[in-house]
């Protein structure tokens, strides 16, 4: 409110200002008056510049395609004769037989039945094939037939500490069936290599299949047993004196033939003693 001594404002703008002051406006908003009735002008802001796109990551060189199956190793490519010939020691030969996949019997057998006894022995015996007990324990001639063979060896002063025992086959045929020619042929290179490495003084072939296989003869065990023959390979420095005898399983079925088997083992003892 104005005092009574103030002159009345004659300028309309000054009168408006005085009215605003009387209403309580004490601060000026701007230095220039603003026409509130005028239509505001629209200012178009310049379009924002889009941020630069990040640089594409460098493209890594394409990796060579991975084959569906790994390339076969030299061992898996090698044949039985090649694996056997490459073995220089008894343990290397055992490892080669364990890695061999060329005999179908391996897929149905429980264990590899490689050998039992002393690889440095002068006496080596080769039987036919593992049975159920041998397949379960992984050792040749450990069942009832093996117990009879142990007694035969003991009768001439030998046992598994001074003799080596193996078979023509390293895996059991299902149901103890007769081995096929293909199964025998698959294992034969390893058996021959074992003889070369052991280099026994006397080789005993136990049973008809072992005798026919190792001697490459067609006669039956009745004609082959008790005769001194020879076994040799191209890598051997000398032939090995070899004799065939009955299989213990046959003797258990035909005990009357034990007399002839005893004659065979007496001949074996004599030969070992003479070659002493």
* Burial class of residue 47, CB neighbours in 10 A (0-12, 13-18, 19+): exposed
- Structure tokens belonging to residue 181: 């020619």
Task: Give a yes or no: residue 102 inside a domain.
Answer: yes
What pLDDT was estimated at residue 60?
42
Domain membership flag for residue 41: no
Nearest to 115 by CA among 92, 88, 90: 90
List CB contacts of 232: < 8 A, sequence separation 6 or more. 238, 239, 240
Residue 70 lies in a domain: no
Residue-wise pLDDT for 249-272, tens only, equals 999 999 999 999 999 999 999 999
15 domain-assigned? no
| Burial classification of residue 104, based on how many CB atoms lie within 10 Å of its CB (0-12 exposed, 13-18 middle, 19 or more buried) | middle
Residue 60 counted as domain residue: no
Contact partners, residue 239, CB within 8 Å, separation at least 6: 230, 231, 232
Q: Within a 10 A sphere around the Cβ of 82, how many other Cβ atoms?
A: 13
The CA-to-CA distance between both ends of the chain, in Å, stands at: 149
pLDDT digits (tens, 9 = 90+) for 126-172: 999 999 999 999 999 999 999 999 999 999 999 999 999 999 999 99
CATH of the domain at 154: 3.40.470.10
With a pLDDT cut of 90, the percent of the chain lying above it is 71
Residue 146 neighbours by CB distance under 10 Å: 22
Contact 241, 228 (CB under 8 A): yes
- Work out the number of other CB atoms within 10 angstroms of the CB of residue 208: 20
Please check whether residue 210 is in contact with residue 126, taking contact to mean a CB–CB distance below 8 angstroms: yes
Could you give the strand order of the β-sheet that contains 123-127, starting from the edge strand earlier in sequence?
116-117, 163-167, 123-127, 202-206, 240-245, 229-231
Count how many domains the chain has: 1
In a domain, 6, yes or no: no
pLDDT in tens, 174-198: 999 999 999 999 999 999 999 999 9
138 domain-assigned: yes
Assess if residue 34 is contained within a domain.
no
The angle, 0 to 180 degrees and rounded to 10, between the axes of the packed helices 208-215 and 181-198 is 70
Say whether pTM exceeds 0.75. no
| % the chain with pLDDT above 70 | 72
Print the domain residue range for 238.
Answer: 75-275
């Amino acid at each position: 409110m104005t005092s009574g001594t103030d002159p009345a404002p004659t300028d309309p703008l000054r009168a408006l200002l005085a009215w605003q002051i009387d209403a309580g406006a004490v601060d000026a908003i701007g230095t220039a008056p603003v026409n509130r009735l005028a239509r505001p002008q629209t200012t178009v802001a310049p379009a924002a510049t889009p941020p630069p796109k990040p640089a594409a990551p460098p493209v890594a060189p394409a990796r060579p395609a991975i084959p569906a199956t790994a390339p076969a190793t030299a061992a898996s490519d090698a044949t039985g004769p090649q694996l056997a010939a490459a073995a220089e020691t008894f343990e290397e030969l055992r490892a080669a037989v364990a890695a061999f996949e060329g005999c179908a019997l391996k897929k149905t057998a429980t264990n590899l039945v490689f050998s039992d006894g002393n690889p440095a022995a002068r006496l080596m015996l080769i039987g036919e094939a593992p049975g159920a007990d041998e397949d379960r324990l992984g050792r040749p001639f450990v069942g009832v037939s093996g117990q009879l063979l142990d007694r035969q060896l003991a009768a001439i002063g030998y046992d598994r500490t001074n003799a080596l025992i193996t078979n023509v086959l390293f895996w059991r045929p299902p149901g103890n069936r007769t081995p096929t020619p293909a199964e025998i042929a698959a294992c034969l290179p390893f058996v021959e290599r074992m003889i070369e490495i052991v280099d026994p003084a006397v080789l005993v072939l136990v049973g008809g299949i072992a005798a026919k296989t190792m001697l490459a003869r067609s006669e039956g065990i009745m004609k082959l047993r008790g005769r001194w023959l020879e076994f040799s390979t191209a890598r051997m420095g000398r032939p090995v004196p070899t004799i065939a005898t009955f299989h213990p399983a046959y003797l258990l079925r035909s005990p009357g033939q034990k007399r002839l088997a005893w004659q065979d083992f007496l001949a074996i003892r004599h030969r070992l003693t003479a070659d002493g």
